[in-house]
Amino acid sequence: MRVAIVTESFLPSLNGVTTSVCRVVDHLRARGDDVVVIAPQARDEVPETYEGVPVHRITSVPVRRFDVGLPTAEIESLLEDFAADVVHVASPFLLGARGLRAAGRLGVPTVAVYQTDMAGYVRQHTPGPAGNAAAATTWRWIRRIHSWADLTLAPSSRSLAALRRHGIPRTALWARGVDASLFSPVWRTDALTRALRRELAPGGETLIGYVGRLAPEKELDRLVELAELPGTRLVVIGEGPSRESVGQLLTEAVASSGHRPNLSPVFLGARQGDDLARAYAALDVFVHTGTRETFGQTIQEAGASGLPVVAPRAGGPIDLVTDGVNGYLFDPRRPGSLREQVCRVLASPEHRAALGRKGVERVRHRSWGRLVGELVGHYEGVRTAGRAA
């Protein structure tokens, strides 16, 4: 099969959209499919291929340190030259919208993958009553974009319900895979992991960690609730526009604690591959703070690493965390709830270990190979429907 992937984000940007596109490309290539990626131009010089797959870069502009591709006519030319059997559009908004329209004019079946709660982000960044109006306008644009797709795939039950509630036609559920061969509890015995652990917790502190983009929509200010937990240390892994403000906020919160002062929060920056797997394995508890996640890929990675997870009872995490099984869900509307649920995890080492074991069990079957197999089934479905029309 010939698959053209039009994505709003790609390397060197690191986020959930980029990760899922890379894993899809990896497994399509392993199947023997021909693939091309169409992505925004990066500010840094990057290779013209990814794992042997051509990557065509479209003119982009920087928005909050994010490369936003412009919907130029070049997209249609690229799709026509490639002669795709199906066009996969990842998190369509601007570049992806043009990709869907171009595929429609060329008569090529399309699958759109909904991954980003743009309406929620717009509401968050638009103050006052105007936020609701701006979110409604964004949903109208999202509905229009996805009406051009033959099928829209949502990553979680909450996302699927939101799409249907806002009138998005032809929807189905497609989750995300996790690389359990990379993210695994076995990293805890690795010499470099043990060295990292000694560096982060020199006094045997309990390490509470977050992994992800450091941006306002991730709501990292919620971690302030954990600053006073005695004998703990906050570990933040990732980069983004909120790095400085979050660092100052959490450092001041720890320093002003009325208890015996904890060690200052530590920021490890962005990590990939084995270094990221080691960072997960060095932690004791994983905390996810954002309430606008359509899925929650880092939750799966933490689970595969054997970590208990505390996440908000909102959006994608609801599908991934079950209270008392592999972690706990906190009420994001109630101050103090995050702290309460983390304390439940920390109640005893035995309980923490049991939650971590269940986390490993829950993600064991969610390999990217299996999930890409499901995705190919969706590709075949829209192709069959197109031939029958």
Residues 157 and 8 in one domain: yes
Percent of the residues in the chain that have a pLDDT greater than 70, as a whole number:
98
Residues 267 and 336 in one domain: yes
Q: Give the Å distances, CA to CA, from 44 to 40, 50, 52, 66, 207.
A: 12, 15, 20, 12, 34
**What is the structure's pLDDT at 260?**
66
Residues 282 and 147 in one domain: no
3-class state of residue 171 by DSSP: strand
Q: 319 is in which domain, residue-wise?
A: 185-363
Mean pLDDT, the chain, rounded, equals 95
Task: Please compute the mean of the pLDDT values over residues 156-181 and round it to a whole number.
Answer: 96
Contact 290, 221 (CB under 8 A): no
Residues 195 and 317 in one domain: yes
How far apart, in whole angstroms, are the C-alpha atoms of residue 75 and residue 98? 7
170-196 pLDDT per residue, tens: 999 999 999 999 999 999 999 999 999
**What is the structure's pLDDT at 259?**
64
Residues 26 and 171 in one domain: yes
Beta pairing class for 66-69 and 60-63? antiparallel
**H or E segment and range at residue 311:** strand 309-312
- The answer for residues whose C-beta is within 8 angstroms of residue 270's C-beta and 6 or more apart is 14, 237, 238, 239
Residues 271 and 135 in one domain: no
Residues 119 and 254 in one domain: no
Residues 341 and 377 in one domain: no
Residue 39 pairs with which residues in a beta bridge? Answer: 57
Task: Please compute the mean of the pLDDT values over residues 74-81 and round it to a whole number.
Answer: 96
- The answer for residues whose C-beta is within 8 angstroms of residue 101's C-beta and 6 or more apart is 148
**What is the structure's pLDDT at 388?**
66
Name the domain count of the chain.
2
DSSP alpha helices (H): ranges in the chain? 16-31, 74-82, 95-106, 118-125, 130-147, 157-165, 191-200, 243-255, 273-282, 297-304, 317-320, 337-345, 349-363, 368-388
Question: Residue 16's domain is classified under what CATH number?
Answer: 3.40.50.2000
Residues 62 and 207 in one domain: no
Residues 80 and 223 in one domain: no
**What is the structure's pLDDT at 63?**
77
* 103-123 burial: b if 16+ Cβ within 10 Å, else e: beeeebbbbbbbbbbbbbbbb
Contact 196, 282 (CB under 8 A): yes
How far apart, in whole angstroms, are the C-alpha atoms of residue 376 and residue 67? 28
pLDDT band at 14 (very low <50, low <70, confident <90, very high): confident
**What is the structure's pLDDT at 248?**
97
36-54 pLDDT per residue, tens: 999 999 877 788 999 999 9
**What is the structure's pLDDT at 100?**
97
Residues 144 and 21 in one domain: yes
Residues 355 and 324 in one domain: yes
Give the type of residue at 293: E
Closest CA to 296 of 275, 313, 323, 315: 315
